[in-house]
Structure 1
């Protein structure tokens, strides 16, 4: 966890793009509010851009809840045994223990916000 646990303002350009573990094919994210960047303890807030065919592998969280908010593009969201197309303005809520994945199946970039709380599965 960062030693800089304090309120503040950050610009999206300040955070580099990175590919987190189990994300593949130019599935890039900026960890805007994250233990490593702000010292946050309860919130992981990222903006992600996946190029066509990029994806995060199917997974579930023990205690974490997640919200995906699609800003642009389209892709395929898997929630449990169901797969649905997601596109701009769709908001997806994932409960703990639910297997899920997202993949860019569209023609252009898929950009979305992901909010996870708490930061870690314990």
Structure 2
């Protein structure tokens, strides 16, 4: 495990990554995570999805998530419901809720994802 520190990170220093289950240029930067800061209770990422990019439908046993859309437009699937999400929308996802997001717009979909705790049980 990485040593815990108080850190200041510059977003340009963190590489874009495409995590498992993410497709079509669904990229994220892990700004606060165990591997980048040693955090134990929070994972904070910025994500940018090109048109048609998506994360597959999935569920977390114990994690809560917040998505905050910064720019663009997409479809958010939560349980059996599909909703259009746009700039300034904030989505809370409770543990045990199946969910997915995809860029259905014309430009990039950019959003923050905050997850706590970091690991599923």
TM class by shorter-chain length?
over 0.9
Runs ≥4 residues deviating over 4 A: none
RMSD of aligned alpha carbons: 0.6
Deviation at 1:93, TM superposition (A): 0.1
Deviation at 1:2, TM superposition (A): 1.9
- In structure 1, stretches of 5+ residues that fail to align are none
Q: How does 1:79-118 map to 2 (within 5 A)?
A: 79-118=78-117
Partner of 1:6: 5
User: Per-residue CA shift, 1:100-120, capped at 9, x if unaligned?
Assistant: 000000000000000000000
User: Per-residue CA shift, 1:28-72, capped at 9, x if unaligned?
Assistant: 000000011111100000000000000000001000000000000
- In structure 2, stretches of 5+ residues that fail to align are none
* SS of alignment partner, residue 37 of structure 1: helix
Partners of 1:80 and 1:2 in 2: how far apart?
35
TM-score (norm 2): 0.98
Partners of 2:84 and 2:2 in 1: how far apart?
37
Partners of 1:33 and 1:81 in 2: how far apart?
31
* SS of alignment partner, residue 36 of structure 1: helix
Partners of 1:86 and 1:2 in 2: how far apart?
35
Partners of 2:2 and 2:26 in 1: how far apart?
24
Partners of 2:12 and 2:49 in 1: how far apart?
17
TM-score (norm 1): 0.98
Aligned residues: 121
Partner of 1:24: 23
